[in-house]
Structure 1
Amino acid sequence: MRWWAGLDRVVVLLCVTEVASWGILYYSLPASVEEITTDTGWSGLAVTGCFSAGLILSAAAGILVGRFLDRWGPRYVMTAGSALAVVGLVLVAAATTVPAFLAAWLVIGVAQAAVLYQPAFTVITRHYGAARDKPMLILTLAGGLASTIFVPITLALLAVLDWRATYLVLAGLLAAVTIPLHLMLPGARHSLARTPATADRTAHSRVITSRRFVLLVGGITAIAFSSYAVTLNLLPLVTERGYSVAVAALAFALVGVGQVVGRIGLTILTRSVSARYRPLVVGLFIAATVGLFAVVPGPVWMIAVVSTLAGAARGALTLVQATAVPSRWGTERLGVLNGAFAAPITALTAFAPVAGVAVATGFGSYAVAAAAFAGLAVVGAACVYLADRHEPWPVEEPTDVRQPARIVD
């Protein structure tokens, strides 16, 4: 067997491409928004609104990308996504009006659907089956480094170049890193990468419209929305308590640290908690940590602890989202099912920061808003519990499976 026929190669390739893709296509904009607004005179709301619009389009495009992934495999879909992302970044650099800037981020949004976590999760799941927990953990831990690596890179580029030249450099870097590595991924002729010809082509529609799927998607969307609405507004929440911006920034940074802890913790938890109950456990954990922001005014060390716990809950949720579909419906039609599952989650979390501000403004307090979002997370946890209640649990691949099926190029 050739050296590139094993899963280890696929995991390494995806780790590298996810770090580059997340770092450049997601975290570069928050790092450069001040430079963009200063140079162009556009408002910060307009610039971030274009970015959010791209995220929302990526949610819708994810469903179609999932179909392509089922049919053609990750090599061609993710490579095409990388190429389109490069085009989008060049358009960002060339944009001279807000509509042109918006169009550029809409192009990037389509590309994000083909290169970020959802297609990567599909590839990992098909290779490892029920033994996917460890490679999923490795992938998400690597992805968690994206902001740590690329925010400083973006800021360093902005220190010596203007923002337009910075985006051209980032476009070249993305092309050099992700296009050749995505071309090394398996093609469509992987025994687990395609839907059998005899499969019912309408089966995925029955799944997507089923009570179980709707409740599961609705529940996890509510949970994720609540988590992001509060944690992405930690700076005003903490400063509202009378603390300095430095303390608020520390709390926000600890959310990122906590995500790593949460992903490792959930992987350990899988040994004792079945996939049926993981969304419920994580949903209640998120509700509790979000609620703590409402009732813990200090001291600083307590805010630090709560921030770390909230990050851990959010990190665990990433893995729950990654495994929710295959653990219930298997790996056939996984691309399209994952795309449909992720679409509302991605779309609404793009609105979460704005929603957090709006709710806090309405209540006159970020702490009260956190309590409201904690209640929404409890509702989400109830939905995921009801989704699986009385439903037969599928028997997955044996958990001692350690190697993927042989890749045929």
Structure 2
Amino acid sequence: MRLFYGWPLVTALGLTTVVSYGTTAYLYGVILLPMAAETGWDRASLSLPFAISMVLAGLVGLPIGRLVDRRGARLVMAAGSAISGLALLAVSRSGALWHLYVLWGGAIGLGMAMTFYPVSMVVVAHWFHRRRGAAYGVLTLLGGFASVIFIPLAGVLIPMIGWRDTVAILGIVQLLVPLPLHAFLVRRHPEDLGLHPDGAEPGDEVAPVPLSGATLRQALREPAFWFITVAATIEQAAAMIVWSHGIAFIVSRGFDSVLAAAIAGLVGAVSLPGRLIFNLLSDRISARHMLGYCLVVQGIGITMLAAATDIRWLYAYAVLFGVAYGTRSPLRASVMAGFFGRRAYGAITAVQGLPVALAAGLGPLGAGALFDALGGYDLAFWLTATAFAIAGAITLVTPRPRSVVSPAGG
């Protein structure tokens, strides 16, 4: 039997996700303290480039989502990889705070919007229907190595060669790995190659109707869309606080910076089994309920971090938060695809991404401001734990759409 092209495609997207996330979103929290030590800039000011990148990614997400729905993701993702790689090289030689605002906030923010999960999951949604949860699991299982590899790697490289050369090296990696994979392997629809979603044969009874689902306008009329969007917005603000300030928080508790980076990498490692197992299960049982419970568990994990007095608390945090964290993106994607289908998936998730991106920017900025005002991160991380619990509760009470496309999201 011939291997369905969707699986090599998902594997390639998983590899590009490792580098795309590892050299941008996960990197910033590692270079935050070295940049502050070199420049003397306060935490709020240094949080702003990361915040701008998240907000910009959301603002341009809608037109990018529509473009991907209409023209495909290949050129979009390839261009995003080129932009991010070149911007990282420029960041490594930046000499003023406004350089970071333009390069990290602007250029890298745009590159993130063009290469991150919202785009790659659109590709997967087009290539898979019955096996969508499994495909998302493979994608995010591979993508989970981003934090496992790049956070500890940067944590080791920075004391050896400095944050600037570390960023430059990772910029080169961005240009050498995701750029060619996006340019040569990504394809829009299985139908473009004479195939069908899941590799089904034309006569198979299980073959889905191509591009079925809700329009953007129909989705916006569903309360389910707004419940999931509010929960995602709250959760994203909390998650970005963890990734942008988590290492600095651990260091502020008296732990070594290399250990702090290793703990952040451990979170990613622990998340790997959950990324696959939970999403395989989401093909059979309610992805929405699993997502809600996992968000609550993330809140419990952050409680362990906020209360940490010795390394045992850090390990407890890494295990609880990591196991649950790995499920959030693929489970939410399964919920959205199950509720609203393939027809306008990119546009629907792009609209959802607007408030989510705003929260992703404001969360780290607020945590930095609280640090500057209070001299520590304690309040910021207790609020973060609470936010995860609230997001989980909202997800659990989300109603099913009045016209459900597929039972997968329920």
Given residue 50 of structure 2, which amino acid in structure 1 is its aligned partner? F
In structure 1, C-alpha distance between the alignment counterparts of 2:169 and 2:242, rounded to whole Å:
34
The worse-fitting range, judged by mean Cα deviation, of 113-122 and 165-174 is: 165-174
In structure 2, C-alpha distance between the alignment counterparts of 1:164 and 1:371, rounded to whole Å:
32
Structure 1 residues 355 and 308: alpha-carbon distance in aligned structure 2, compared to 1, 3 A threshold: farther
- Offset at residue 269 of structure 1 (A): 4.0
- Offset at residue 91 of structure 1 (A): 3.3
The worse-fitting range, judged by mean Cα deviation, of 322-331 and 151-160 is: 151-160
In structure 2, C-alpha distance between the alignment counterparts of 1:323 and 1:210, rounded to whole Å:
17
In structure 2, C-alpha distance between the alignment counterparts of 1:127 and 1:7, rounded to whole Å:
6
- Is structure 2 residue 255 aligned with structure 1 residue 245? yes
Q: Corresponding residue for 2:25? A: 26
Q: Deviations over 1:198-219 (max 9, x none)?
A: 9999931342354221121002
Q: Deviations over 1:330-388 (max 9, x none)?
A: 01111111222233223313333454566799999977766655544444334334432
Give the length in aligned residue pairs: 389
Given residue 216 of structure 1, which amino acid in structure 2 is its aligned partner? I
In structure 1, C-alpha distance between the alignment counterparts of 2:316 and 2:155, rounded to whole Å:
29
Q: Corresponding residue for 1:403? A: none
Structure 1 residues 229 and 209: alpha-carbon distance in aligned structure 2, compared to 1, 3 A threshold: farther
Equivalent positions of 1:355-366 (< 5 A) are 355-356=366-367
Q: Deviations over 1:52-92 (max 9, x none)?
A: 21122112212221111111112111112112223322432
Given residue 292 of structure 2, which amino acid in structure 1 is its aligned partner? L
Q: Corresponding residue for 2:355? A: 344
- Checking the alignment, whether the CA contact within 8 Å between 1:356 and 1:369 is kept in structure 2 is yes
Runs of 5+ consecutive residues of structure 1 not aligned to the other structure: 398-409
Given residue 27 of structure 1, which amino acid in structure 2 is its aligned partner? Y
Q: Corresponding residue for 1:47? A: 46
In structure 1, C-alpha distance between the alignment counterparts of 2:269 and 2:49, rounded to whole Å:
28
- Is structure 2 residue 290 aligned with structure 1 residue 278? yes
- Checking the alignment, whether the CA contact within 8 Å between 2:214 and 2:341 is kept in structure 1 is no
- Checking the alignment, whether the CA contact within 8 Å between 1:74 and 1:185 is kept in structure 2 is no
Secondary structure of the equivalent of 1:191?
Answer: helix
Equivalent positions of 1:126-145 (< 5 A) are 126-145=126-145
- Offset at residue 114 of structure 1 (A): 0.7
Q: Deviations over 1:100-120 (max 9, x none)?
A: 221111111011101112111
Equivalent positions of 1:256-267 (< 5 A) are 256-267=268-279
- Checking the alignment, whether the CA contact within 8 Å between 1:230 and 1:356 is kept in structure 2 is no
- Checking the alignment, whether the CA contact within 8 Å between 1:235 and 1:245 is kept in structure 2 is no
Q: Please, what is the CA RMSD of the aligned residues? A: 4.0
The worse-fitting range, judged by mean Cα deviation, of 380-389 and 308-317 is: 380-389
- Offset at residue 323 of structure 1 (A): 1.8
- Offset at residue 232 of structure 1 (A): 6.4
Given residue 85 of structure 2, which amino acid in structure 1 is its aligned partner? V
In structure 2, C-alpha distance between the alignment counterparts of 1:33 and 1:7, rounded to whole Å:
38
Equivalent positions of 1:5-404 (< 5 A) are 6-37=5-36, 40=39, 42-43=41-42, 45-105=44-104, 106-151=106-151, 153-154=153-154, 164=164, 166-188=166-188, 190-191=190-191, 203-226=215-238, 229=241, 244-245=254-255, 249=260, 252-267=264-279, 269-270=281-282, 273-290=285-302, 301=312, 304-356=315-367, 372-389=383-400, 391-395=402-406
The worse-fitting range, judged by mean Cα deviation, of 111-120 and 84-93 is: 84-93
Q: Deviations over 1:138-160 (max 9, x none)?
A: 22122222233334554666567
Given residue 57 of structure 1, which amino acid in structure 2 is its aligned partner? L
In structure 1, C-alpha distance between the alignment counterparts of 2:163 and 2:47, rounded to whole Å:
15
- Offset at residue 307 of structure 1 (A): 3.7
Q: Corresponding residue for 2:204? A: none
In structure 2, C-alpha distance between the alignment counterparts of 1:185 and 1:43, rounded to whole Å:
43
Structure 1 residues 52 and 278: alpha-carbon distance in aligned structure 2, compared to 1, 3 A threshold: same
In structure 2, C-alpha distance between the alignment counterparts of 1:363 and 1:99, rounded to whole Å:
25
- Checking the alignment, whether the CA contact within 8 Å between 1:86 and 1:175 is kept in structure 2 is yes
In structure 2, C-alpha distance between the alignment counterparts of 1:344 and 1:51, rounded to whole Å:
16
Runs of 5+ consecutive residues of structure 2 not aligned to the other structure: 194-209
In structure 2, C-alpha distance between the alignment counterparts of 1:236 and 1:347, rounded to whole Å:
22
- Checking the alignment, whether the CA contact within 8 Å between 2:224 and 2:401 is kept in structure 1 is no
- Offset at residue 129 of structure 1 (A): 1.6
- % same residue: 22
- Offset at residue 97 of structure 1 (A): 2.4
The worse-fitting range, judged by mean Cα deviation, of 316-325 and 254-263 is: 254-263
Given residue 304 of structure 1, which amino acid in structure 2 is its aligned partner? Y
- Checking the alignment, whether the CA contact within 8 Å between 1:126 and 1:192 is kept in structure 2 is no
Q: Deviations over 1:161-180 (max 9, x none)?
A: 66555544433332222221
- Checking the alignment, whether the CA contact within 8 Å between 2:6 and 2:127 is kept in structure 1 is yes
The worse-fitting range, judged by mean Cα deviation, of 354-363 and 85-94 is: 354-363
In structure 2, C-alpha distance between the alignment counterparts of 1:92 and 1:351, rounded to whole Å:
22
- Checking the alignment, whether the CA contact within 8 Å between 2:29 and 2:245 is kept in structure 1 is no
Q: Deviations over 1:32-71 (max 9, x none)?
A: 4455455555455433421221122112212221111111
In structure 2, C-alpha distance between the alignment counterparts of 1:50 and 1:44, rounded to whole Å:
11
The worse-fitting range, judged by mean Cα deviation, of 354-363 and 177-186 is: 354-363
Structure 1 residues 97 and 217: alpha-carbon distance in aligned structure 2, compared to 1, 3 A threshold: same
The worse-fitting range, judged by mean Cα deviation, of 138-147 and 105-114 is: 138-147
